[in-house]
Amino acid sequence: DIRGVLGKTLDENVARLIGQSIGTVMAERGLQEIVVGRDGRLSGPELSNALIEGLRLAGRDVIDIGLAPTPVVYFASYQLQTGSCVAVTGSHNPPDYNGFKIVLGGETLSGDAIEDLYFRIADSLLDGDGNGGLQSIDVAPDYISRIASDIQLERPLKVVVDAGNGVAGGIA
């Protein structure tokens, strides 16, 4: 994952460069489409939009699923057959943090692959002449249907969900 503190190590410009770096790696791997979703942090919309700008600048086609829990972002990359996604999420970190969980071609980026994104930015080795596409898709109904199809109940249940102010509350 990539994590940063808003206004110190992470802002819209950084998010745009990260998107452009991810898009450059995708081009090298022959990958065209990527899903982007975000959690409920206040900085999510701005960072997500900047990330999408960078991806599109690198010529990648983006499917924006909007507000979604990280597992739904992963599901969308499978369901929409992109194999690639970025979840804009601060995860368990304090409110002044945010970040990016990245999957490209079915591979979760970590360690050296994350460092490679940084070095591409630092060395200005970024694709930037493209104009990738953008579409918005609501995958929540497909996600709910998929989960519900896995459940076999012997009797009706009463269920209480406490989403703890998390974005999963909308799905629940």
User: What amino acid positions are annotated as catalytic residues?
Assistant: 91
Calpha distance 163→165 (Å, rounded): 6
Which amino acid type is present at position 94? P
The continuous run of DSSP H or E covering 100 comes out as strand 97-104
The rounded distance, in Å, linking the Cα atoms of 68 and 71 is: 8
Give rounded-to-5 percent helix, strand, coil for the chain: 40, 20, 40
Cα distances (angstroms) measured from residue 148 to each of 47, 66, 143, 153, 154: 32, 22, 9, 10, 14
Fill in the DSSP letter of residue 42. T
Task: Extract the tokens encoding 93.
Answer: 């970190």
